[in-house]
């Protein structure tokens, strides 16, 4: 590691519950801790190893819900225990980023930080490393809130989009014009044709002072909560202090809270084989298929006249699938999901419906 890298940090955000991957992903064992694609490693482990290529181990933090501390420790035993940062409640990405930014700033006021989700798939490691290093070097010199944008390959309605200005301000760095939440299909097609829109990957890079100044400007009440407990950060008193202030934070994403309001937002258009693995269909896209286009995980699955299905069942269970076209079939010991692929964005709503009708037993 060069001396330069000692001011490079990463905060891996690993506190979500991954409800769109239900019933494989559960509240007590969400998707970031699962081996969704049968690779032999969980999504969190892949994410950690990816950053380990260019960030020193002691500068890698995992921010997670207190419920998952043990899981992070189990899956990343070499990560120093103090680098597992516990959120006492789920409050979306803005409080998570505010917390870790104040914590790192107290330790290193010159820090440059990547904030990235724990559950994304990235196929091209070297291209990802290059994009991240380019981003870190840019934010080290400029007061910029930077995000990595993905060059879209299809008019996807499941992603947010970033529009950027045509002139670059540095090597492959562009100023952001607008953010658009998940568009309808017609709009997504227009975005793709225009050539100046990227998918929002939710990977952010900034100097710690830049993000703290943005928090102060755009989320002043939240920022104030963390400033009040600044003396306790990185001390034994931190846990109690965080338990007091965290529930007072607004539940808001960093996109809504800061990125869409600030005027110093930049993007690096990237292409590193990215998928946010947000849904079963995205897992399907990344799995091997049989000659009928079925992605099958399970040793005893017989397929008859079924096409383009996503199937995940236990190895010891015989499953015969007949006549289904473009379905998701997920079997676990206590839940069986059979759902049309086109309706998979609704799985999150189905989970909420189950909670209302059946309580939390199956979640």
DSSP 282-318: HHHHTS---TTS-EEESTTEEEES-BS-EEE--TTS-
Pair (97, 66) in one structural domain:
yes
Alpha carbons 247 and 358: distance in angstroms, whole number: 27
User: Is residue 2 domain-resident?
Assistant: no
Last-in-domain residue among 237, 257, 275: 275
CA distances from 71 to 45, 113, 119 (A): 11, 24, 14
Pair (197, 120) in one structural domain:
yes
Pair (228, 348) in one structural domain:
no
User: Cα 149 to the chain's mean position, in Å?
Assistant: 13
Averaged over 303-332, what is the pLDDT? 95
The pairing of strands 310-312 and 295-297 is parallel
Pair (171, 158) in one structural domain:
yes
Pair (301, 188) in one structural domain:
no
- At residue 127's C-alpha, the angle toward residues 50 and 59, to 5°, is 35
CB-CB contact of 94 with 254 (8 Å): yes
User: Is residue 3 domain-resident?
Assistant: no
User: pLDDT value at position 3?
Assistant: 41
Pair (289, 234) in one structural domain:
no
- pLDDT tier, 312 (very low <50, low <70, confident <90, very high otherwise): very high
Q: Which residues contact 22 (CB under 8 A, 6 or more apart)?
A: 335, 337, 347, 350, 351, 363
DSSP tag of 140: H
User: Is residue 151 domain-resident?
Assistant: yes
Last-in-domain residue among 275, 296, 327: 275
For residue 360, with 0-12 CB atoms within 10 Å meaning exposed, 13-18 middle and 19 or more buried, which class applies? exposed
Question: What CATH number did the domain enclosing 153 receive?
Answer: 3.90.550.10
User: pLDDT value at position 254?
Assistant: 95
User: Is residue 78 domain-resident?
Assistant: yes
The pairing of strands 8-13 and 112-117 is parallel
User: pLDDT value at position 205?
Assistant: 98
Last-in-domain residue among 275, 293, 312: 275
Report whether pLDDT(88) > 50: yes
Of the CA atoms within 13 Å of residue 98, those in its CB half-sphere come to 35
For residue 263, with 0-12 CB atoms within 10 Å meaning exposed, 13-18 middle and 19 or more buried, which class applies? exposed
User: pLDDT value at position 1?
Assistant: 39
Identify the three-state secondary structure at position 152: coil
Whose CA is closest to 287, among 119, 50, 123?
Answer: 123
Averaged over 279-307, what is the pLDDT? 93
User: Is residue 363 domain-resident?
Assistant: no
Alpha carbons 293 and 288: distance in angstroms, whole number: 9
Tokens for 348, please give them.
Answer: 């999150």
CB-CB contact of 202 with 278 (8 Å): no
Alpha carbons 12 and 9: distance in angstroms, whole number: 10
Pair (220, 287) in one structural domain:
no
Averaged over 334-346, what is the pLDDT? 91
User: Is residue 226 domain-resident?
Assistant: yes
Pair (100, 208) in one structural domain:
yes
Pair (254, 187) in one structural domain:
yes
Q: Which domain holds residue 36?
A: 8-275
Query: 170 - beta bridge partners?
Result: 173
User: Is residue 33 domain-resident?
Assistant: yes
User: pLDDT value at position 2?
Assistant: 41
The total number of structural domains that make up the chain: 2
User: Is residue 250 domain-resident?
Assistant: yes
Report whether pLDDT(46) > 60: yes
- Looking at per-residue pLDDT, the higher value among 38 and 128 belongs to 128
Averaged over 337-356, what is the pLDDT? 90
User: pLDDT value at position 278?
Assistant: 80
Q: 241: part of which helix (H) or strand (E)?
A: helix 238-245
Pair (215, 335) in one structural domain:
no
Pair (154, 285) in one structural domain:
no
Pair (16, 65) in one structural domain:
yes
């Amino acid at each position: 590691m060069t001396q330069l890298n000692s001011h490079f940090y990463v905060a891996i955000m690993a506190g979500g519950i991954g409800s769109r991957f239900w019933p494989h992903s559960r509240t007590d064992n969400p998707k970031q801790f699962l081996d969704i694609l049968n690779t032999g490693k969980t999504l969190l482990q892949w994410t950690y190893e990816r950053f380990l290529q260019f960030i020193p181990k002691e500068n890698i933090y995992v921010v997670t819900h207190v419920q998952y501390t043990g899981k992070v420790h189990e899956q990343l035993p070499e990560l120093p225990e103090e680098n597992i940062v516990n959120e006492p409640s789920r409050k979306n990405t803005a409080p998570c980023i505010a917390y870790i930014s104040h914590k790192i700033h107290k330790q290193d006021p010159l820090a440059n930080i990547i904030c990235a989700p724990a559950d994304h798939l990235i196929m091209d490691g070297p291209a990802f490393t290059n994009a991240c290093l380019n981003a870190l070097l840019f934010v080290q010199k400029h007061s910029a809130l930077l995000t990595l944008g993905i060059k879209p390959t299809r008019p996807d309605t499941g992603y947010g989009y970033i529009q950027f200005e045509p002139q670059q301000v540095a090597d492959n760095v562009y100023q952001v014009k607008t953010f658009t939440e998940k568009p309808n299909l017609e709009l997504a097609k227009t975005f793709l044709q225009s050539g100046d829109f990227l998918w929002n990957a939710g990977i952010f890079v900034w100097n710690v002072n830049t993000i703290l100044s943005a928090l102060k400007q755009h989320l002043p009440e939240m920022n104030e909560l963390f400033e009040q407990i600044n003396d306790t950060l990185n001390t034994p008193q931190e846990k109690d202090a965080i338990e007091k202030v965290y529930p007072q934070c607004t539940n808001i994403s960093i996109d809504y809270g800061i990125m869409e309001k600030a005027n110093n937002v930049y993007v690096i258009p990237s292409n590193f084989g990215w998928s946010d693995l947000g849904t079963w269909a995205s897992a399907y896209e990344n799995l091997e298929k049989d000659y009928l286009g079925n992605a099958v995980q399970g040793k005893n699955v017989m397929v008859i006249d079924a096409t383009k299905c996503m199937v995940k069942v236990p190895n010891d269970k015989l499953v015969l699938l007949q006549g289904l076209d473009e379905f998701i079939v997920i079997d676990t010991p206590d839940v069986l999901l059979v759902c049309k692929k086109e309706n998979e964005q609704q799985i999150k709503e189905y989970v909420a419906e189950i909670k209302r009708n059946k309580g939390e037993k199956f979640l």
